[in-house]
Chain A
Amino acid sequence: MADPTMAEPKTADPKPKVAFYWCASCGGCEEAVVDLAEGILDVVGAVDIAFWPVALDFKRHDVEALDDRALLASFINGAIRTTEQEEMAHLLRRKSQLLIAFGACAHLGGIPGLANLYDRESILRQVYLDSPSTDNAEQTLPQVEFREDGRPLTLPGFAETVRALDQVVEVDYYLPGCPPTPKIIAGAVQALLAGQAPPRGAVLAPDTALCDECPRKDSKPERLAVGEFKRPHQVLVDEGTCLLAQGLLCLGPATRAGCGALCIGGNMPCTGCFGPTSRVRDYGGKALSAVASIVASNDRAEVERILAQIPDAVGTFYRYSLPSSLLRRRAARAA
């Protein structure tokens, strides 16, 4: 960054430097940056991208060579699973004034976080030994170090538990979503560049429930009561009516707004990728509470029958947030 005491920086690049990095993620968040379309030209015009492995040929040593806090902001997407991801998170934290958790995986743990239903050993065994398509006669498992003709080869270590970014380093802001939408990315970048950032620790999206901005809000009955949960492929969905009122499991009541109800616009129920509002600690707990409350029966057996129509309770209610939930991962077996 330019020294503020210098009236006119002579040779120093006045544009703030930013970095993008990915950890345990699918690449959709990188895609989301490109989805800014022509808006990306404004971003590129306003900042100097110092590190973006998916698009530009910078290496880790380029980041290491920067002064501490030389980057205005680093945008990190993906959850943290390996030792390499953890090291990069610490490195970028040190080099950045602002660290931004970009997307549901960095924000809450995301879909890779569902691996917290299993332990490290069973994951490695399934992937490298037991899966029907695996051909591994020598039963080789990944090693952090291996010697080939005396030369050491290394791989990052694989942790027992998937973590959200703020469980590893301090995070200044969160951009929610799977992936964050171009609108909220652009809004966040503009606010940061204009120096109009909200208080640290904020999620850069409205602090209201999705129902609040849902175009079908007016068709939501005063008192929702669901006697039958249906899945989108089982019904012809009415395009104008509240999805919960049609028996589709929409998590809008428990999910933060800001996405513009894109999925609902596509006739698909909300799956909760924006996470909770600021008043909720555990997204899944709150979401299941909201859903259970509208089950239209007081009879134990009937309630059980209706709730059984919801497949995979953890995968439904903690689809994006298991690592940041109160329980974080499956219980360890009794010692």
Chain B
Amino acid sequence: MPEATHTPEVGARAAPGSGEPRIVAFFCNWCTYIAADLAGTSRLKYPPNVRVIRTMCSGRVDPQFVLEAFARGADGVLIGGCHPGDCHYQEGNYKTLRRYMLLRRVLGAMGIEPERFRLEWISASEADRLKGVIGEMVEQVRALGPLRIGMAAEAPAEPAREEVAA
């Protein structure tokens, strides 16, 4: 299994060692991503440390996505989904909850602090809540300092790359 060395590390803008935490956020298409959109159109400010990846459902977030984010240099991972009972696909978020509960045990045993991995139910109208969760998480992860694990811990960190696409 050769390593995917061609893929850039998480967070081209916040260079490793810059002290800025890098957080990967998986937001579901129907609730949390809309909340993030609303936060934007409402001109709500929150820290720029989050890289948002939209998935159709929080249930689409394979634990491997979370592990890969940490392995590639994320300091925290946030999953946002619809409130229980509100899932567009009936029960995707319940599966997310169960996987999250088991994955956090694995991450804990691997030395990753619980504050670095978070699951939040944020509905389409809760832009304020999104802002609050991100602000809180960035501060908590910043206080913990950079995470050194996976490829990021073994290979010397590559210099920050310029983003290719505009």
Contacts and interface: CB of A to CB of B under 8 A. Distances in A.
Contacts of B98: 292-293, 295, 297, 303, 307
A193 B110 CA distance: 42
Interface string B83-121: 010000001001101110111011001111000000000
Interface hub of B2, B94, B102 (most chain A Cβ within 10 A): B102
Contact of B64 (A281, A292, A307, A312): A281
A298 interface: yes
Interface string B5-27: 00000000000000000000000
Interface in A70-93: none
B37 interface: no
Contacts of A303: 97-98, 101
Interface in B124-166: 144-151, 153-154
Contact of B1 (A166, A317, A330): A166
Nearest to A298: B94
Given A303-B98, A314-B106, A326-B71, A331 B148 contact: yes
Contacts of B105: 307, 313
A300 interface: yes
Contacts of B97: 298, 300, 303
Interface string A299-321: 01001100100101110011000
A313 B84 CA distance: 26
Contacts of A288: 63, 99, 102-103, 106
A191 to B, nearest CB: 21
B99 A330 contact: no
A332 interface: yes
A16 interface: no
Given A292-B95, A327-B71, A286 B111 contact: no
Given A325-B67, A327-B71, A335-B148, A292 B1 contact: no
Interface residues of A, number: 39
B63 A331 contact: no
Contacts of A325: 67
B70 interface: yes
Contacts of B109: 117, 312-314, 330
Contacts of A292: 95, 98-99, 101-103
B99 A280 contact: no
Interface hub of B62, B98, B101 (most chain A Cβ within 10 A): B98
Nearest to B145: A334
Contact of B91 (A289, A298, A327): A298
Nearest to B149: A331
12 contacts: A117-B109, A281-B68, A285-B62, A286-B62, A288-B99, A292-B95, A292-B102, A298-B84, A298-B91, A310-B102, A324-B1, A332-B149
Interface of B: 1-2, 62-64, 66-68, 70-71, 84, 91, 94-95, 97-99, 101-103, 105-106, 109-112, 144-151, 153-154
Interface of A: 117, 161, 166, 280-282, 284-286, 288-289, 291-293, 295, 297-298, 300, 303-304, 307, 310, 312-314, 317-318, 324-335
Given A285-B63, A327-B67, 16 more contacts: A117-B110, A166-B2, A282-B68, A285-B62, A285-B66, A286-B64, A292-B99, A292-B103, A293-B98, A314-B106, A325-B67, A330-B110, A330-B149, A331-B147, A331-B149, A332-B153
